[in-house]
Structure 1
Amino acid sequence: MCYFKKVLFSMLLLCLIIVVTDETIAAEPTKFYEYSNAKGITVINYHSFGDYKEIANINITKKLFREQLMMIKDNGYTVISEPQLIAYLQGHGRIPEKSVFLTIDDGYESVYTIAYPILKEMGMQATLFVIVKDMEMGSRKGVPMLNWLQLKEMSDSNVINVGSHTYDLHWRGNNDSPKYEAMILNQTKDGQPLTNEVRQQLIFEDVTKAHKLIEQNIGEKTTSFAYPYGAYDTFAERAIKQAGYLIDYSTTSGYNLFGSGTVHIKRIDSSNLVSVEELKKKLEKQQKQAEQQYKNRDIQVEAHISSTNISISAWLKSDLNAKALQAKEARFELYKTVNGKRQLQRNFGSYLVTASAGSRMMKTEENTTNYEAGSYSIKTIIVKQDGSKEVFWLNFSK
């Protein structure tokens, strides 16, 4: 009798629809893609290397730069490449749990004479954002700039990835005052007034000119852009998007979360004003904050899986009791794991959340009868009203 009860119990278990949570989804694949992935990444930004009095506030000595990179290496951080960063921010790339990314702004000659050899020696990469007109002029604020031959050599080495910092929009009006940055200022260098729409067109023409000249001179396309002084508004953003840049960087300090998107990447500055110990503490602090934020993320997903069907519900914790609706829409994407990598198969579509208190949930359902055997993932993306995104991966086998 006991034997039959066990058999009956086992059969009932097989017939049950499984409710999947963040902790129980297909343990092994989830562990590989989610839990051993970085919860956040810090981007460290540099400018000038050496000891130029004209730009003392953004210099870093050769010695200190080397010591900072050694600290990064000695503390188990991996310096990743920009393609890795983009895939991670898009929500489908896996990077080591302790990862950092390096950028350099402006394009001073000291990048070639000091930073490049050290990066090359240590097997690290960085993305360099150049102000093209200043390069063509040969100097900025009295400090020598890179030339095209130097830039091409660094690009060809794959140590330096080249991005745009505009052609000639890295200036401020009102005697170089903050909040008068060219990207958000409705006037030309000579003081002529501009409408927002004309400024947007001028930005588009400037940044398009910049990346075309970069491509002509180094033989590589650039899809990376850094806002001068970190200044942007709606019209500047539209121009950058229109120009086809894949990723853009701000000067807002902080870390970047998995799946958070490739717009307005946060960065922390480093220079002679930041000691090795201070940089170490900042990296450790941001690592802990990212892990905590990931743990407390707003997105919630429940899935019911059977041998022929998957149904998914997605919502935000913040929408359960709040009057103001936080979620805007949910998107569901199907991936298949091929040779250890997720490959997008198709989109399930986009679903708007209902604003009523009783139905702040987005749902989709999929018949899996005709799926080929293999490992699959469903990426749930919830877009919030403020434009930010939260991502959840659900893994299953067929």
Structure 2
Amino acid sequence: MKYIRKILLFVVLVCCFLSISEQAMAAKATKFYEYSNAKGITVINYHSFGDYKEIANINITEKLFREQLKMLKDNGYSTITEEQLIAYLQGHGRIPEKAVFLTIDDGYESVYKMAYPILKEMGMQATLFVIANDVETGARKNVPMLNWQQIKEMSDSGIMRIGNHTYDLHWRGNNDKSKHEAMILNQKKNGEPLTNEERLRYIQEDVTKAHQLIEKYTGIAPKSFAYPYGVYDRIAEQAIKKAGYTIDYSTQGGYNLFGQGTVHIKRIDSSNRVSAHELKKILEKNYSLAEQQYRQRDIQVEAQVTSNKVTLKAWLKSDMNKGPLQAKETRFELYKMVNGERQLQRDFGSYCVTANKSTRVMSTEENIAKYEAGGYSVKAIMIKQDGSKEVFWINFNK
């Protein structure tokens, strides 16, 4: 009997070890994946290159631009493509821990003459947002603009992705005063008044016209939009969405986090007012803040992985104090590792699980017995009552 008890105890211990190991492996895999990924990314925005008195506040000299890019290289930063940025912000793409993304607004001729050669020389990429009407007329505020031939050459090179910055909605009313930007102003450029409904159509038609011109002259339809002056309201947002854009850029400073989504991407402005050393300090600060915010994430996910089933539980730390409910729902998606990248397969388990006051921990599970051999991931997307999101990954092998 004594030996039988020892054997039973041994079996129980082995089973517990295997169960704990499987969970630990899942957690370790997730931790490894996310810790080898950037916690946040800074988008650096430029405008004009050179020394134009008419737009002195947005100029950057050729020398300083080169110094800034050299600083990035010397400090281990690499630029990424817009596809990489989008995948990262959607929560299924990896980028180097020290990555930056470059954008350029408006479309001044100096982009082609100064910025483009330096980017090419240094092996870096950027997205250029053009104001199509100013390209058509050839000037903005008496400063020469790019022409379509130059834009196409840069687009064809792969160094410059072309984005939409409206056809002719980059202006302010009331004698060019702030808070009278065209995107939020219920009037046309000629002063004709617009209702909210008319303004929605007006913006959509303008953005669509710019979209068609960019596609006509470059052969590639733009996928992203940058708000003029970074200004928008509910109607402007609806118009941009109706025009087919799900990726847009603001001028709000700061950094962007893994999985936070592609609406109102934050950017920091760079010009002659920012030295290479100051830009380095901004990037280091953003890097540190993103690390800290990542460690303090509210979302928590627990995984139980066996050879036949994966069970997941998701909750918010802030919802465990029985205060007002913060979580709204959690969505679960299944990804498979293909050539080292996660590829979305389909919804996982009960896909969308809603939270309520009595059910603050949201659970889902799926039988994986018939899965093909390979590496898999489940993406848990926690949507909060305020509309914000947090993302957590669980990796497992079959």
**Shorter-chain TM-score tier:** over 0.9
1:14, CA displacement in angstroms? 5.6
TM-score (norm: length of structure 2): 0.95
CA apart distance, 1:332? 0.1
- 1:351 aligned partner, one-letter code: C
What does 1:291-310 correspond to in 2, within 5 Å?
291-310=291-310
1:90 corresponds to which residue? Answer: 90
Partners of 2:77 and 2:170 in 1: CA distance: 32
Letter aligned with residue 201 of structure 1: R
Alignment partner of 1:109 is 2:109: yes
Alignment pair present for 1:137 and 2:137: yes
Find the aligned partners of 1:83 and 1:166 in 2 and give their Cα distance. Answer: 21
Paired residue type of 1:389: K
Query: Gaps (5+ residues) in structure 2?
Result: none
Q: Which residue of 2 aligns with 1:25?
A: 26
Q: 1:64 Cα shift? A: 0.3
Give the equivalent residue in structure 2 for 1:13: 16
Which 10-residue stretch deviates more, 284-293 or 369-378? 369-378
More displaced stretch, 368-377 vs 176-185: 368-377
After TM superposition, the structure 1 = structure 2 runs for residues 151-230 of structure 1, keeping only pairs within 5 Å, are: 151-230=151-230
Q: Distance in 2 between matches of 1:44 and 1:6?
A: 61
Instruction: Compute the displacement of 1:326 (Å).
Output: 2.0
Check the 8 A contact 1:299/1:382 in 2, yes or no. yes
Aligned length: 394
Distance in 1 of aligned mates of 2:136 and 2:84: 31
- 8 Å contact from structure 2 (residues 351, 364) kept in 1: no
The worse-fitting range, judged by mean Cα deviation, of 9-18 and 117-126 is 9-18
Counterpart contact for 1:19–1:302, Cα < 8 Å: no
Which amino acid is the alignment partner of residue 384 of structure 2?
Answer: K
Note if contact 1:17-1:306 (Cα within 8 Å) is conserved in structure 2. Answer: no
Q: Point out the more displaced range, 276-285 or 297-306.
A: 297-306
Letter paired with 2:190: D
Q: Secondary structure at the match of 1:100?
A: strand
Take 2:12 and 2:301, find their aligned partners in 1: how far apart are those partners?
28
TM superposition shift of 1:32: 4.9
**2:338 alignment partner in structure 1:** 338
Correspondence list, 1:267-278, <5 A: 267-278=267-278
| C-alpha deviation, 1:245, in angstroms | 1.7
Given that residues 248 and 262 in structure 1 are in contact (C-alpha distance below 8 angstroms), is that contact kept between their aligned partners in structure 2?
A: yes
Label 1:15 to 1:47 Cα distance change in 2 as closer, same or farther (>3 A): closer
Amino acid aligned to 1:353: T
Q: Which whole-Å CA distance do the structure 1 matches of 2:275 and 2:281 have between them?
A: 10
2:353–2:363: 8 Å Cα contact kept in structure 1? no
Paired residue secondary structure (1:192): coil
Q: Percent identity?
A: 68
Q: Which residue of 1 aligns with 2:46?
A: 46
* Deviation digits for residues 208-242 of structure 1 (CA, Å, limit 9, x no counterpart): 11011001011111111000001111111111111
- For residues 352 and 200 of structure 1, the distance between their equivalents in structure 2, rounded to whole angstroms, comes to 34
Look up the match of 1:324.
324
Shift in Å at residue 316 of structure 1?
1.3
Deviation at 1:319, TM superposition (A): 2.1
Q: Distance in 2 between matches of 1:309 and 1:33?
A: 22
Tell me by how many angstroms 1:11 deviates: 3.4
Alignment TM-score, normalising by the size of structure 1? 0.95
- CA distance in 2 between counterparts of 1:359 and 1:106 reads 49
2:247, 2:322 → 1: CA distance? Answer: 33
Is 2:334–2:379's contact at 8 Å kept on the other side of the alignment?
yes
Where 1:266 maps in the other structure, the secondary structure is coil
Question: 2:365, 2:20 → 1: CA distance?
Answer: 14
- The separation in 2 between residues aligned to 1:170 and 1:65, in whole angstroms, is 25
CA RMSD of aligned residues (A): 1.8
Deviation at 1:305, TM superposition (A): 2.1
Letter in 1 for 2:14: M
Tell me, in whole angstroms, the C-alpha distance in 2 between the residues paired with 1:81 and 1:169.
27
1:70 aligns with 2:73: no
Aligned match of 1:369: 369
Q: Secondary structure, in 3 states, of the residue corresponding to 2:63?
A: helix
